């Protein structure tokens, strides 16, 4: 009789005494796993193709700003922080710039986020493998890739610092778990962990907070390793967060973004559990309605949230100290992130991203209770992520947009065409229209806004222009705020936008 370790990546806690004559089921080959993953990959791509042609993925000014700042990179202007912000990495702008050098328009801002979402899924897979095995890890990663309509939409938008911040957070948590397992090459682990955490902080503070929570565990566990852990961790962290530190040094103490929804701390905690996470799991729409039947959807959301949090405890029970960073980051993320008032906005599910890796790991932990033959079966990969996408992703997208297919950006493109036909180069108005049209116009405009000003040099040009040369754009039905009397403008409606053209533009 000998001790045979479970070959799915588990530790000795799952080993058992078996006769040496009893063969273990072999792990499926990489080729087998890729074939097994095809259904989930195909359904994920089809869902993305559907969403890209639906009204749900109409481009907005936040996305357009990524393109505008990428053009700045091509012009030799290198920003460290999102324009008009005191935080938020510009990593995506540097990734997009080479593409925009040869290809402009909407599609570059859709293709690269999709590629980054694959990297994010792979990072989740690498985090999960040592704890729950290859098969379950791939299953969890594929579920995370198409977790819900809300998550697919976030993965499809080029928000600066989101995809890359998520990847950095997952990497930091993975290094924290690795530091709990072994002291081999601890200095290198600490250096990489610190860099990942610093990069996550620069990307978006919400990712940085979760990364720091995870790294607090090995920092206590390895408290005696001053040079091999603490110094290397601090050095890596300083390198990762250096761009933000440089920005703060140049511009002074950063200020938090204004909350779009006024909430108290207890309200934010409650919203995380009852609104944000149900949206992230595809059971609640942005307008607050539940999928029908509502009682079943609410019950399913409660089951997933409670099950994922309980699963984090189970993961520690089955895998020991190596899983403690995930438990700490998963549980303490709620009270820590609730400190930030902007996270009270829960409608579109974007702020669920820092919670997602830990919650998916919690759900994956329940597979450890299944027989090893099931955990090592490629059928798990072939069926569960596909069923998840069909049940928790497709219905919510249909609930929001039906089967409507078309160009979601056609109204904004018509505005661009009208401005170019009239040789108008100055545009002012609502934030959500100005920068969007600015990007779609391929740098032929100078824009400003009566809300948040992102590109100050363009805004100064508009403010200094003759009022009779400035057009205005607002969401349809919005009361206009114009520099001249409204009678001096021609109002043209383009679907969801009202365009005000000056009647006597300056020559």
pLDDT tens track for 354-406:
999 999 999 999 999 999 888 999 999 999 999 999 999 999 999 998 888 99
Q: pLDDT digits over 196-213, tens only?
A: 999 999 999 999 999 999
In this prediction, residue 451 has a pLDDT band, given cuts at 50, 70 and 90, of confident
Which residues are 501's β-sheet partners? 490
Q: How far is Cα 129 from Cα 140, in angstroms, rounded to an integer?
A: 10
Would you state the pLDDT for residue 12? 38
Q: Is pLDDT at 11 greater than 90 in this prediction?
A: no
Average pLDDT rounded to a whole number, residues 112-126 = 96
Residue range 189-194: average pLDDT? 98
Tell the residue number behind the tokens 């961790």, with chain if given.
Answer: 233
pLDDT in tens, 78-88: 999 999 999 99
Does position 6 have pLDDT exceeding 50, yes or no? no
What pTM, to 2 d.p., does this model score? Answer: 0.93
**Looking at residues 149-175, what average pLDDT do you find?**
97
Q: Residues near 52 by Cβ (< 8 Å), separated by ≥ 6? A: 110, 156, 408
25 band by pLDDT with thresholds 50, 70 and 90: low
**Over the stretch 167-182, which tens digit does the pLDDT of each residue have?**
999 999 999 999 999 9
The residues with which 490 forms a beta bridge, in sequence order, are 501
The per-residue pLDDT of the chain, averaged, comes to 92
Quote the CA–CA distance of 231 and 187 in Å, as a whole number.
Answer: 9
What is the length of the chain?
A: 507
Q: How far apart are CA 386 and CA 301, in angstroms?
A: 19
Both tokens of residue 398?
A: 């249909």
pLDDT level of residue 249 (50, 70, 90 thresholds): very high
HEC readout, 81-107: ECCCCCCCECHHHHHHHHHHCCCCCCC
pLDDT value at position 18?
38
The CA distance from 105 to 67, in Å, is 9
Look-up: residue for tokens 């100055």? Answer: 426
Q: Give percent above pLDDT 90 in the chain.
A: 86
What's the whole-number mean pLDDT along residues 243-271? 92
For residue 27, which phi and psi values (nearest 5 degrees)? -65, 140
| Angstrom distance (rounded) from CA 211 to CA 231 | 17
Three-point CA angle 483, 488, 494, nearest 5°? 90
pLDDT of residue 191: 98
Over range 314-319, report the average pLDDT: 97
3-state secondary structure 271-295: HHHHHHHHHHCCCECCCCCECCCHH
**Which of 405, 426, 422, 506 has its CA nearest to residue 473?**
426
> What does the pLDDT read at residue 30?
85
Element (H, E) at 500: strand 497-502
The answer on pLDDT for 15 being more than 50 is no
DSSP state of 230: I
Q: What is the pLDDT of residue 255?
A: 86
> Is the pLDDT higher at 141 or at 403?
141
Burial class, 251, CB count within 10 angstroms (exposed 0-12 / middle 13-18 / buried 19+): exposed
- Is residue 98 within 8 A of residue 74, CB to CB? The reply is no
- Model pLDDT, residue 248: 96
| Burial track 174-198 (b if 16+ CB lie within 10 A, e otherwise) | bbbbbbbbeeeebbebbbbbbbbbb
Check residue 26 and report its DSSP letter.
P
pLDDT at 505 exceeding the cut of 70 = no
Q: Do residues 259 and 332 touch, judged by C-beta distance below 8 A?
A: no
């Amino acid at each position: 009789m000998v001790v045979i370790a479970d070959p799915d990546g588990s530790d000795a806690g799952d080993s058992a005494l078996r006769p040496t004559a009893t063969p273990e089921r072999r792990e499926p080959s990489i080729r087998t796993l890729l074939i097994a993953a095809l259904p989930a990959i195909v359904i994920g791509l089809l869902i993305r193709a559907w969403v890209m042609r639906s009204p749900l993925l109409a481009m907005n000014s936040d996305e357009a700003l990524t393109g505008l700042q990428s053009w700045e990179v091509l012009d030799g202007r290198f920003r460290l922080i999102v324009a008009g912000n005191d935080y938020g990495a510009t990593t995506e702008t540097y990734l997009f710039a080479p593409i925009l050098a040869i290809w402009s328009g909407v599609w570059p801002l859709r293709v690269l986020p999709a590629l980054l979402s694959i990297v994010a899924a792979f990072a989740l897979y690498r985090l999960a493998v040592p704890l729950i095995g290859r098969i379950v890890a791939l299953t969890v990663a594929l579920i995370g890739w198409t977790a819900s309509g809300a998550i697919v939409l976030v993965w499809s938008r080029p928000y600066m610092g989101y995809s890359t911040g998520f990847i950095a957070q997952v990497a930091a948590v993975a290094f924290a778990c690795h530091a709990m397992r072994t002291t081999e090459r601890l200095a290198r682990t600490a250096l990489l962990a610190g860099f990942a955490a610093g990069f996550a902080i620069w990307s978006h503070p919400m990712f940085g907070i979760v990364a720091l929570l995870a790294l607090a565990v090995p920092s206590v566990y390895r408290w005696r390793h001053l040079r091999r852990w603490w110094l290397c961790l601090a050095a890596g962290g300083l390198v990762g967060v250096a761009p933000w530190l440089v920005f703060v040094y140049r511009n002074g103490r950063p200020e938090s973004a204004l909350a779009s929804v006024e909430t108290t701390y207890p309200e934010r905690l409650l919203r995380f559990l009852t609104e944000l996470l149900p949206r992230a799991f595809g059971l609640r729409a942005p307008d607050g309605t539940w999928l029908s039947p509502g009682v079943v959807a609410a019950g399913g959301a409660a089951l997933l949230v409670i099950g994922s949090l309980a699963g984090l405890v189970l993961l520690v029970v089955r895998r020991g100290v190596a899983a403690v960073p995930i438990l700490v980051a998963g549980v303490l993320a709620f009270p820590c992130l609730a400190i930030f008032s902007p996270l009270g906005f829960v409608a579109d599910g974007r702020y669920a991203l820092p919670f997602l890796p830990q919650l998916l790991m919690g759900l994956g932990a329940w597979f450890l209770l299944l027989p090893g033959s099931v955990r090592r079966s490629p059928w798990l990969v072939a069926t569960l992520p596909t069923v998840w996408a069909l049940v928790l992703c497709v219905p919510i997208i249909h609930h929001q947009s039906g089967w409507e297919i078309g160009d979601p950006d056609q109204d904004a493109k018509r505005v661009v065409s009208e401005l170019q036909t009239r040789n108008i180069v100055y545009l002012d108005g609502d934030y959500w229209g100005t920068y969007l049209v600015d990007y779609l116009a391929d740098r032929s405009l100078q824009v400003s806004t009566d809300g948040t000003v992102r590109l100050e040099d363009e805004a100064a040009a508009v403010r200094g222009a003759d009022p009779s040369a400035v057009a205005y754009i607002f969401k349809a039905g919005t009361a206009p705020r114009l520099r001249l009397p409204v009678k001096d403008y021609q109002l043209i409606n383009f679907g969801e936008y009202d365009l005000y053209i000056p009647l006597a533009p300056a020559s």
